[in-house]
Structure 1
Amino acid sequence: MARITGAKCRLCRREKIKLFLKGDRCYTGKCAIEKGGIIPGQHGKKMSKLSEYGIRLREKQRAKRIYGMNEGQFRRFYGIAARKKGVTGEYLLKLLESRLDSVVYRAGLAASRDAAKILVLHGHVQVNGKFVNIASYVLEPGDVISIREKSKGMKAIKMSVDRIKERGGITSGAWLDVDFDNLKVTFKKMPEEAEIGSILNKQLIVEFYNR
């Protein structure tokens, strides 16, 4: 399982956008982007214009960092999407949002995707009543995700749910049905691209792998 273990704010500065890697901090004035974050490194202030290849590489790197995946994992998901009929980039986004860690995060049970990965890895999450500790597990419509009984009192989960409620609830209600009282989530369907609200340019990612 790939996890981001280094300085997360540095990654946001490198990509020049919020990647929402640090949970609640990303919504405050402490966020590096809110402070006008400069690209990290000695030459960050005077980096030259990116080439066509560089633009596509950056978009692929941005996607990997948002979903906390290494190159091998991301390439595998791209390969699955490329073999499907239809628009490759659109199906790739749907697959990424159908991962177990993405759904736990989108449902508000974890403050970030990294926190969601930890919940899954440590056995706090069940799918259809069975323990699943694979963050990249792809859910099927109708699957029910729940927090195991012994883990429902975890402070991190409670704080995350409270924060989501304060912000007015989840934004992924079109494909997730969340029961905050029982800490259960029903994966209703794969999300549509418009419902995801992704900041990624999927076409650039496809062009990178098809170069």
Structure 2
Amino acid sequence: MDKLGPRHRMCRRIGQPLCGRPNCPATRRPFPPGQHGRGRKRVSEYQMRLLEKQKLRAIYGVSERQMRRYYERATRKTGVTGEELIRQLETRLDAIVLRLGFALTQRQARQLVSHGHVRVDGRRVDVPSFQVRPGQTIELTEKGRNLLFVREALELSPEPPPYLYRNREEFQGTLVRYPERDEIPLPVPVEERLVVEFYS
């Protein structure tokens, strides 16, 4: 995560709460930090595409190298490239853990996976970028179920999206099918078309 810099830096830069937290500084100060943060600037087309790409990177917590790899995979798919890109990001293991309500933020979900508290089909997986396939079951270990922030997240998080099934009592969830673009609950609007234009 050190590649992404401070937690709320990109939120302030964009002026939107990318982290999804209600206490994000961007909700109180929706302008870039620094002496000239409030100054009005003309935004070029390149900068618009760059910011959309940076938004997507910050939401899912991926590096630039990973992001380019996801884009290259998406171009080889038969569907719309932008939708395929977001679908790949959304089926990462840490993103699925977040959507199932086992964590409140993407960073918490990433930590939960990397510390070995998550099993996929009964096998422990500690790689946050692991791609979950439809039909696979995600569950927490005994130690993971007793973590305070996990229980807090289950109380505060909403119901998972339609492409996920959650068993709250067993701390389990299943990816029923691949998500559609309009079903993915991103914290802020993202124009994936501009991301594709940035890389193309």
Aligning the two structures, in what range does the TM-score lie when normalised by the shorter sequence? over 0.9
What letter matches 1:208 in structure 2?
Answer: F
The structure 2 residue matched to 1:49, chosen from 42, 64, 69, is 42
The structure 2 residue matched to 1:139, chosen from 106, 118, 132, is 132
Q: Deviations over 1:44-97 (max 9, x none)?
A: 111411111111011101110111011001111111111111200011111111
Counterpart mapping for 1:78-157 below 5 A: 78-157=71-150
1:151 positional shift = 2.3
Gaps of 5+ in 1: none
Counterpart mapping for 1:1-211 below 5 A: 2=1, 6-20=5-19, 26-27=21-22, 30-164=23-157, 169-172=158-161, 174-198=162-186, 199-210=189-200
Tell me the distance in 1 between the aligned counterparts of 2:173 and 2:2: 23
What letter matches 2:170 in structure 1?
Answer: N
Q: Residues 103 and 86 (structure 1 numbering): CA distance in 2 closer, same or farther, change over 3 Å?
A: same
Q: Residues 180 and 171 (structure 1 numbering): CA distance in 2 closer, same or farther, change over 3 Å?
A: closer
1:195 positional shift = 0.6
Give the total of aligned pairs. 198
Give me the TM-score of the superposition, normalised by structure 2: 0.93
Q: Residues 138 and 18 (structure 1 numbering): CA distance in 2 closer, same or farther, change over 3 Å?
A: same
Q: Residues 63 and 54 (structure 1 numbering): CA distance in 2 closer, same or farther, change over 3 Å?
A: same
Instruction: Tell me if structure 2 keeps the 8 A contact 1:4–1:68.
Output: no
Gaps of 5+ in 2: none
What letter matches 2:172 in structure 1?
Answer: K
1:150 positional shift = 2.8
Tell me the distance in 2 between the aligned counterparts of 1:57 and 1:5: 15
**In structure 2, the residue corresponding to 1:159 is in which secondary structure?**
helix
Instruction: Tell me if structure 2 keeps the 8 A contact 1:13–1:33.
Output: yes
Tell me the distance in 2 between the aligned counterparts of 1:176 and 1:143: 11
User: How large is the RMSD of aligned CA atoms in angstroms?
Assistant: 1.6
1:4 positional shift = 6.6
Instruction: Tell me if structure 1 keeps the 8 A contact 2:93–2:128.
Output: yes
Instruction: Tell me if structure 1 keeps the 8 A contact 2:17–2:26.
Output: yes
